[in-house]
Amino acid sequence: MSELVFYVNGKKIVEKNPSPTTLLADVLRYKLKLTGTKVSCGEGGCGSCTVMVSWFDRSTSKILHYSVNACIVPICLLHGLAVTTVEAVGSTKTRLHELQERLVSGHGIQCGFCTPGMVMSMYALLRSNPVPTELQIEHALKGNLCRCTGYRPILDAFRSFSKDSGCPMGDRCCRNKDKKNSSDVVENCNENKNESDMGKQELIFPSELQLSDVYDQQTLEFKSDEVTWLRPVCLKDLLLLKKQHPEALLAAGGTNVAFYLRNASREKPLVIIATTHITELRSFEENEDGFLVGAMTSMTLLENKLMSLIDKHSETKTRLYHSLLDALCLFGSPQIRNRATIGGSLATASRLADVNVLLLAAGSHVKIASTDGEREVKIHDFFTGKSTTCLKPNEVITDVLLPFSTQDEYCGFYKQSPRKDLTLADVNAGLLMEFEAKNSSTVKNAFFAFGGLSSMLAVAKKSSSFVIGRKLDGSLLNELMLSLANELDQFVSGDDAKSFKVAVAQGFMFKFFLKISHQRFPKLEFLRLFKEEERYLLSSQADLQQKHSGVQVYDIITNQSETDSVGQPVPHRYAKQCATGEAVFIDDILPSQGELYLTLVTSTKASAKILKIDPSKALAMKGVVGFLDHTSIISSNKTGLYLDEEIFATEKVDFVGQTIGAVVAESHEIARKAARAVVIEYEELQPITTIEDAISHNSFHSWPGDMGAINYGNVSKAFGSCDHVIEGELKVGSQEHFYMETNSVRVVPKGEDGEMDVYCGTQYGAGLQNLVASTLNVPCNKIYVHTKRMGGSFGGKEFRSYLITLPSALAAHKFNRPVRCALERRQDMQITGYRRAYLAKFKVGFNNNGKVMALDLDMYSNDGFHPEYSAGFMGQSLFYSDNCYAIPNIYVRGHLCKTNLPPTTAMRGAGVPQGLVICEYWMTRVAEFLKRPQHKIREVNMYRGGDVTFISVPIEDSLRRCFEEVLKQSDYEHALVNIENFNRQSTFLKKGISVIPIKFSPGLPPSWYKAGAVVNVYLDGSVLLYHGGVESGQGLHTKMIQIASRVLGVSIDKIHISETCTGIIPNSATTGGSSGADLNGAAILDACNQLMARLKPIKDSNPDGKWEDWIKTAIAQKINLSASGYYNRAISEDFDWKTGKGQPYGYYTYGSAVTQVEIDCLSGNYVILKVDIVMDVGKSLNPAIDVGQIEGAFVMGTGLYALEEHLFGANGHLETSGAGKYHIPTISSIPLEMNVSLLKDCGNPQAVYSSKGIGEPPLLLSNSVFFAIENAVIAARRQAGLSPDFAFNSPATTKQIQSACGLGPQHLLKSLVT
């Protein structure tokens, strides 16, 4: 049959001769126009594309619902299934689903791009389990990433559906007091949590699919030029097809098939055989040897079956199954586990597959079939080499035997990875040991398997044999550790991480040894274990899962008019649209007739001459319209912030990802495929890629004018009088923005006079407008840049949006048709810029009392090949080299390294995060040198209210108030004592605590300090606002509406913001620097005040009238009800770098954080136990939004300082590209407890209604995570007798933590009782 039938949101979809290369997300978005399903990573690694798939299981007569990643599901797998998208869950046009309502009211939405995926993951869980536990809810969301919120409000909103959730405030719950009389409101009480009417609006499963099995029994055949897709429905037919097509890929869950489909070509046609409906491969059989599992069994179904067997059988018999549950708990994501199969995992023979390494250790058997017959293979013989198995081309896996454990057999699974969820292992292990007889301590058999050490699964045969016949005691452990080190060292030869991987593997064995000792000989105490260590080292992964919680405290104004929403925790204005998938992002705009799609052709070399550009193969493809390169330029090929870059490279490329050309085609898919067909010939040159290379080659960008150094006081003289002087250095890694919506643009020629609409997710519309106009050689008044919203930006869409906009504008001009370009995630990460990496070299002089007297500091930044505002961002680093400390003598210098990497760009904090962590690093070194409590040294040096910084900015009392409040809120002194006591008793787990104060000045350079606004009032009294700022999830539009509501005295429901447009608000500053509310709020205030002045006579003559009455009267009197507001009062002045005079900042936002962590010295894994934050936000315009910004920024900063490795290779390619390799925080990464308080009784006369900018400052607080981790490492090294001087750079990855702790065999064995 060549007809595909499936259902989407209850509607029957019939596709005749569908292309096998088509993915579900493409059908939903481009054919069915269901754009609520987002595509962010394109590889099933972020959850934005999550939908629910339902099918009728005829073996159980039940409808099953599960979440999947639409971006990697081929539509050909959906025959006879039902798909539900976010559009069918709830709508603003009818009603929101209860879970959407709770997410909105719980402030769990910021940019909203990830929200539909979050909704669908939760929805799928509730359809399967209407009353889940809190841990089940957290587990269901582990496949969904969010870059904005920090996850806490999402969890709080969804956990209200849990059967075991309760208010964390106990007696202080908001339901136990009168909120109107309280100024201390706790936000996250779960009111009416059990009053859901879930089920009343659920989509009904299609009766056709339930009543008939006709689609289950149909064989399918679909063909395209590149792929043939076949689906048999019985094992016999499958084996015949495999004989006919021995090279065919088998698609079971299809989690890997999408990657093959994207690269399919006519030169090598691909045959795929779907095994989804072969019932013989989905069988289960329990026999005396174990549990026989069909190869088509999904990991989720396997998990459920194993739990049933564990309930049915004894603990001794199901030890392997317990370990398998540990492996499955950390396998991929819920969406992946719902599709991935055990047979597929084995067939890939991946060295990192968690299940494979455990089955190898357990001695599982694999059943194989072909037309020649059946055979059974021991799994030891199944894996034959690097990603290879013993499977013959015509064979398939049919079953896998999961053996029962014997009474004397023990097994364990262990995994170490950069991030707990959604991450492949650095190292994993399946370990098995069997003893002679009951109560015997003599080892009868052993098998130790490891993944991640080399290109294939590694079996420690010598060490496995070594323990056989030996007794389980301290002597065996001692010798086994040494044997394992020697044997595994050979597997990882040549690997830079050799010592780390071997040490982690030894740690696994050590934990396994403890586990066996505890289970088999609970009274045998030859090892000392602290109770917390015992809990951690001996527990399963499931037992270690912990819930997250938090409290948010802020003042609420209670005696306020209903029409005045300023200061109220109003939900994000467009949260409902985001929750329902109705919010329109750039690539969600429905295409118009004849619309074209553009894909960039970029350099694959870091430094090379271009010898030839040949697009002929691409142009020959059906659906390709044209190719652009430097010969297509109308005006100038120069572009960029300083016009020092080329739109299209001409003779030379200077970094990987530099634009050489662009393919224009009739679809995204065609354009992307054609772009890969363009041939570029190069003559390679030697690139410079690192800071060290740049220093050795003297490769630097020049500073403008006198910028580059600040010399305050007399450093040389001060060093001579200090009691102590220390020197050191610190490296700070770079960071990717990883906004959920990649850079996207749609350019529409208006058809006359050169006019053009540009729909782009950009922070700087006016700048982009100017670049487009100059590129097309038209005046700016004919280019209109529109931005409705962005799916996150964080600085990454401030300057470099032109990379896709200018080629798209040229294509739109050339072909006179709309053109759009939406970057794929990996290309976006390679070309659009990132946070700069730093190297700092410092010299600090201080006295015995801890007072720092002198700082000499050099900071080197890797700025890539072009200096996009590099001087400004390094200037920020220099300005914040003091953080919050009064240092009488400072000499700081910045160096802008020029390398063959893509240009860096703005990112949240813009140079301050690097400068601040460098300051805190040397401050920590001072405390450690003096052996004084770190918080005391910080307090000794901290500015006081009324002080002036070395760049002439006054300090407020709020700085010390935040610091003192957070020490009190966290009970810091008591916590410190507890941690010190813990560390004295615990060997393998260590805790750390750190308190960090911060200051940050929201704002832009004085020349950019301007904003415009237009406020229109219509006949019915409704109000339309325009301003120059853009909404990227920070709640800017919501705050602007609140400001207007106060001035105009109308409800926020009457006020609307449609978009930001250069045709209405010209010459706006960029939305950045946490200044959006300050600038645009002031402009709106001005416009609204003008309107109210015009309405004053009317209001005075009719004081009892309503708003609508006054407006009708005003219109009748021909009063202008459109007002243009403007703000241009700079609150700072340019800094004179030569004289050191000037005040570059108008005010500071202050905060302090206390972070407590626990590290596992054996693996490097860590848990953030608790974070307490006190933040001065002035008088908040919207405390819920401000708290959301604090939490989200803190979690993003946790990624910067303690998780995200952004690494380029020596060839200039980004090695950590894509969601699979670049690891932003997941739900499991956030603090177990996170408490946020807004400082009371503070204001700010320099901003609207005494508020303060808040988007960036909280990110700085998360360096407290870095220093808490470092303090835990210091404790580990101290106990191990290692030097207190060691390199510890940012980010504090698990690899660095484990290596720094230095717990090798000799230290592990010190725990033995002698």
State pLDDT tens for residues 12-61.
999 999 999 999 999 999 999 999 999 999 999 999 999 999 999 998 99
- Structure tokens that stand for 190 in this block: 């779960």
Mean pLDDT over residues 834-848, rounded?
Answer: 98
Dist CA 806 CA 598 (whole Å)? 11
Q: ∠711-869-631 over CA atoms, to 5°?
A: 150
Q: Are 896 and 871 in contact (CB under 8 A)?
A: yes
Residue type, 1270: E
Neighbours of 168 (CB within 10 A): 18
The H or E element spanning position 1280 is helix 1263-1280
Q: Can you give the pLDDT at residue 673? A: 94
Residues 1136-1150 have a mean pLDDT of 92
For residues 467 and 319, give the distance between their C-alpha atoms in angstroms, rounded to a whole number: 20
Token look-up 């499963």 returns 205
Read off the pLDDT of residues 71-124 as tens digits, 9 standing for 90 and up. Answer: 999 999 999 999 999 999 999 999 999 999 999 999 999 999 999 999 999 999
Residues of 778-801 as b/e, b for ≥16 C-beta within 10 angstroms? bebebbbbbbbbbbbbbbbbbbbb
pLDDT of residue 1004: 86
Predicted local confidence at residue 187, as pLDDT: 55
Question: What 3 state SS string does 594-661 have?
Answer: CCEEEEEEECCCCCEEEEEEECHHHHCCCCEEEEECHHHCCCCCEECCCCCEECCCCCEECCCCCEEE
The arrangement of strands across the sheet holding 220-223 comes to 220-223, 227-231, 270-274, 249-251
Per-residue pLDDT at 167 exceeds 80: no
- Rounded Cα–Cα distance for residues 128 and 63 (Å): 9
Sequence-separated (6 or more) residues with CB below 8 Å from residue 739 = 111, 113, 147, 790, 791, 792, 793, 794, 796, 797
Average pLDDT of the segment spanning 825-842 = 97
How does pLDDT run across 854-894, given as a tens digit for each residue? 999 999 999 999 998 899 999 999 999 999 999 999 999 99
How far apart CA 25 and CA 42 sit, in angstroms, is 9
State mean pLDDT over 429-451: 94
pLDDT value at position 523?
64
Confidence of residue 175 (pLDDT cuts 50, 70, 90): very low
**Which two structure tokens, joined as six digits, stand for 415?**
């995994």
Strand order across the 1122-1127 sheet: 1055-1057, 1023-1027, 1011-1017, 1122-1127
pLDDT recorded at residue 262: 76
For residue 162 the two structure tokens come to: 């849990």
Is the Cβ–Cβ distance between 315 and 520 less than 8 Å?
Answer: no
Q: Is the pLDDT of residue 168 over 60?
A: no
Count of residues making up the chain: 1314
For residue 199, pLDDT over 60 is answered with: no
DSSP reduced 3-state for 1045: helix
**How large is the average pLDDT for residues 804-833?**
97
Is the pLDDT at 439 greater than 90, yes or no?
no
Q: What angle do CA 1074, 924, 1297 make, to 5 degrees?
A: 90
- Check pLDDT > 70 for residue 188: no
The pLDDT of residue 544 is above 90: no
The pLDDT of 1244-1262, averaged and rounded, is 95
pLDDT band at 254 (very low <50, low <70, confident <90, very high): confident
C-alpha dihedral (881, 885, 890, 891), degrees to nearest 10: -10
| Residues forming beta bridges with residue 712, ordered by sequence position | 890
CB-count burial class (<10 Å; 0-12, 13-18, 19+) for 133 = middle
Q: Beta partners for 64?
A: 55
Peptide bond into 1291 cis (omega under 30): yes
Instruction: pLDDT band for 177, please (50, 70, 90 cuts).
Output: very low
Q: Is 122 helix (H, G, I), strand (E, B) or coil?
A: helix
Q: Kindly tell me the burial class for residue 469, based on how many C-beta atoms sit within 10 Å of its own C-beta (0-12, 13-18, 19 or more).
A: exposed
**pLDDT, average across residues 708-729:** 97
Quote the CA–CA distance of 533 and 530 in Å, as a whole number. 5
Q: Helix, strand, or coil here: 162?
A: coil
Instruction: Identify the residue with better confidence: 170 or 1186.
Output: 1186
Contact at 8 Å (CB) between 142 and 548?
Answer: no
Q: How confident is the model at residue 203 (pLDDT cuts 50, 70, 90)?
A: confident
Stretch 1266-1294: mean pLDDT, rounded?
94
Rounded (10°) CA dihedral 785, 789, 791, 793:
60
CA distance 1236 to 1191: 8
Taking only the tens place, the pLDDT of each residue in 451-461 is: 999 888 999 99
pLDDT tens readout for residues 583-629: 999 999 999 999 999 999 999 999 999 999 999 999 999 999 999 99
| SS3 (DSSP) at 1246 | coil
- What is the spatial order of strands in the sheet that 624-628 belongs to? 624-628, 659-665, 596-602, 819-822, 744-749, 756-760, 783-787, 1060-1061
- 288 is a catalytic site residue: no
Q: Which residues contact 1195 (CB under 8 A, 6 or more apart)?
A: 150, 151, 1225, 1229, 1230, 1262
Asked if 25 and 99 touch (Cβ cutoff 8 Å), the reply is: no
Per-residue confidence (pLDDT) for residue 338, from 0 to 100: 96
Sole residue written with tokens 């190719």: 627
DSSP 747-782: EEE-SSTT-EEEEE--S-HHHHHHHHHHHHT--GGG
Give the model's pLDDT for residue 342. 96
pLDDT for res 455 = 86
- Taking 70 as the threshold, does the pLDDT of residue 1312 lie above it? no
Q: What is the pLDDT of residues 403-434, one digit of tens each?
A: 999 999 999 999 999 999 899 999 999 999 99
pLDDT score of 427 = 94
Average pLDDT estimate for 1041-1056 = 97
pLDDT value for 998: 98
Least Cα distance to 672 among 5, 179, 26, 1180 occurs for 26
Q: Which residue has the tokens 């679909």?
A: 222
User: How much of the chain, in percent, has pLDDT values that exceed 90?
Assistant: 84
The CA–CA distances, whole Å, from 657 to 43, 660, 830 equal: 20, 9, 6
User: Residue 825's pLDDT is what?
Assistant: 97
Q: Nearest to residue 56, comparing CAs of 263, 194, 206?
A: 206
From 15, 582, 824, 1256, active-site residue: 1256
Lowest-pLDDT choice from 320-329, 547-556, 1164-1173? 547-556
pLDDT at position 1305 is 65
The residue with greater pLDDT, 206 or 520, is 206
pLDDT > 60? residue 190: no
Share of the chain above pLDDT 70, in %: 95
Cα–Cα nearest to 1218, from 689, 606, 585, 738: 738
User: Which helix (H) or strand (E) covers residue 24, if one does?
Assistant: helix 24-26
DSSP state letters, 673-740: HHHHH-EEEEEE-----SHHHHHHTT-BPPPSTT-SEEEES-HHHHHHH-SEEEEEEEEE--B----S
Average pLDDT taken over every residue of the chain: 93
> For 770-799, what is the mean pLDDT?
97
